[in-house]
């Protein structure tokens, strides 16, 4: 009992200390700045957004996270502060229903659909337009969020200046086939018998959520090793990230751990695998920018390149390669990410 209390007390002290460090280092003190954590209702479900920027008159950029179910507030400072986007955009980080601070055991499973998330995204976009009195906003979707993002801008092009896809999902079934075969190849090359046994047991996709977790576990392990060897990239300490995120209380963190695979269980399903943007979105009516990591095998960039070549876009399309990145170019090459977002995306739309 005493050991348990000591552990709890240590966590509380560490949590408060780390949050204060982050707040002191990343505070926004400009006259027209904004740093606001807000609960809103989307599709009749309470959800949370974090809004940060040096000048609330700057263009609004909504960020859609990956996963599904991957907390976003943990990386807000990396995107906004490290990549310096807060100086040029009013950044809105949205943790979708059942993700991060928006997680609740009371969320109906039947509401966890791609269609509902697209509806939530459009509803939030309208709220932001009205809140900041702007005619349109920018939309960034990464990984899982990129699927929601492209489906949203296809349906509501009038709401957006441009769409930026990071680790773009196009064809989920082909995506996971390539990802699975790559993971098998690396396991064979490294002589990892445990990985090979696990991977051969689950077989090729489509995956259920348990099979997906096994494949992604080994891919993540190999990915971290590869990025460390090639580019000296050190993996993040996820617990420290959670504890140092000012927007999370310890109760929030505990709640996230109650059912960490809730979103994947309900969204990575037959309907998801039947999605195919080659067929569903052959044409787009706003400028699109695909940011592709050369070493991305979570959402293999070869599929994105193929889609880019076939996509019809009267307003312009771009694919930008990040040669020292895998699945996280905005975190792995923040200077280049800044350059693309400011000197390409923002400048082109302004012109």
Q: Is residue 155 part of a domain?
A: yes
CA nearest 64: which of 42, 86, 96, 40? 96
Determine the pLDDT at residue 276: 97
**Strand ordering across the sheet containing 317-322:** 34-42, 45-53, 90-95, 60-64, 137-142, 160-166, 288-293, 317-322
Give yes or no for a contact between 332 and 227, defined as CB atoms under 8 angstroms apart: yes
Q: Is residue 274 part of a domain?
A: yes
CA nearest 265: which of 216, 222, 207? 207
Q: Is 296 a catalytic residue?
A: yes
Catalytic residue among 171, 176, 252, 296: 296
Catalytic residue among 15, 120, 143, 252: 143
Determine the pLDDT at residue 239: 82
Determine the pLDDT at residue 331: 94
Q: Is 327 a catalytic residue?
A: yes
Determine the pLDDT at residue 233: 82
CA dihedral (119, 124, 127, 133) positive or negative? negative
Q: Is residue 5 part of a domain?
A: no
Q: Is residue 346 part of a domain?
A: yes
Q: Is residue 235 part of a domain?
A: no
Determine the 3-state secondary structure of 206 from DSSP: coil
Determine the pLDDT at residue 7: 66
CA dihedral (344, 290, 336, 245) positive or negative? positive
CATH number, domain at 65? 3.40.50.1820
Catalytic residue among 15, 244, 301, 327: 327
Q: Is residue 3 part of a domain?
A: no
Gap between the Cα atoms of 27 and 182, Å rounded: 42
Q: For residue 207, what is the DSSP state?
A: P
Determine the pLDDT at residue 22: 86
**HSE (CB half, 13 Å, CA atoms) of 199?**
22
User: What range does the domain containing 36 cover?
Assistant: 27-171+250-350
Give the pLDDT of the chain (351 residues) as one tens digit per residue. Answer: 777 666 677 777 777 888 888 888 888 999 999 999 999 999 999 999 999 999 999 999 999 999 999 999 999 999 998 899 999 999 999 999 999 999 999 999 999 999 999 999 999 999 999 999 999 999 999 999 999 999 999 999 999 999 999 999 999 999 999 999 999 999 999 999 999 999 999 999 999 999 999 999 999 999 999 999 988 888 778 888 898 999 999 999 999 999 999 999 999 999 999 999 999 999 999 999 999 999 999 999 999 999 999 999 989 999 999 999 999 999 999 999 999 999 999 998 887
When divided into structural domains, the chain yields a total of 1
Determine the 3-state secondary structure of 155 from DSSP: helix
């Amino acid at each position: 009992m005493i050991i348990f209390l000591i552990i709890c007390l240590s966590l509380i002290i560490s949590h408060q200390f780390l949050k204060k460090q982050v707040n002191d280092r990343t505070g926004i003190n400009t006259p027209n700045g904004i740093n606001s954590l807000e609960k809103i209702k989307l599709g009749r479900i309470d959800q949370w957004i974090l809004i940060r920027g040096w000048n609330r008159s700057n263009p609004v950029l909504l960020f859609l996270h990956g996963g599904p179910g991957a907390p976003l507030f943990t990386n807000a400072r990396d995107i906004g502060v490290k990549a310096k986007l807060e100086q040029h955009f009013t950044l809105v980080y949205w943790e979708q229903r059942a993700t991060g601070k928006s997680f609740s055991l009371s969320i109906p499973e039947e509401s966890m659909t791609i269609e509902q998330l697209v509806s939530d995204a459009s509803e939030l976009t309208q709220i932001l337009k009205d809140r900041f009195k702007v005619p349109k906003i920018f939309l960034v979707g990464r990984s899982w969020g990129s699927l929601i993002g492209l489906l949203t801008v296809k349906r509501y092009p009038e709401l957006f200046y441009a769409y930026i896809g990071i680790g773009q999902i196009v064809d989920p079934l082909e995506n996971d086939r390539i990802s699975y075969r790559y993971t098998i190849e690396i396991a064979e090359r490294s002589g990892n018998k445990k990985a090979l046994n696990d991977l051969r047991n689950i077989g090729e996709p489509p995956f259920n959520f348990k099979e997906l977790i096994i494949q992604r576990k080994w891919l993540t392990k190999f990915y971290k090793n590869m990025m460390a060897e090639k580019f000296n990239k050190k993996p993040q300490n996820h617990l420290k990230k959670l504890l140092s995120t000012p927007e999370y209380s310890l109760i929030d963190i505990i709640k996230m751990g109650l059912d960490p695979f809730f979103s994947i269980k309900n969204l990575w399903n037959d309907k998801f695998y039947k999605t195919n943007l080659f067929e569903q979105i052959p044409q787009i009516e706003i400028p699109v920018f695909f940011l592709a990591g050369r070493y991305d095998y979570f959402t293999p960039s070869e599929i994105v390149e193929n889609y880019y070549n076939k996509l019809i876009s009267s307003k312009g399309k771009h694919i930008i390669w990040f040669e020292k990145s895998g699945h996280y170019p905005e975190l792995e090459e923040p200077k280049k990410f800044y350059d693309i977002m400011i000197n390409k995306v923002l400048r082109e739309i302004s012109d």
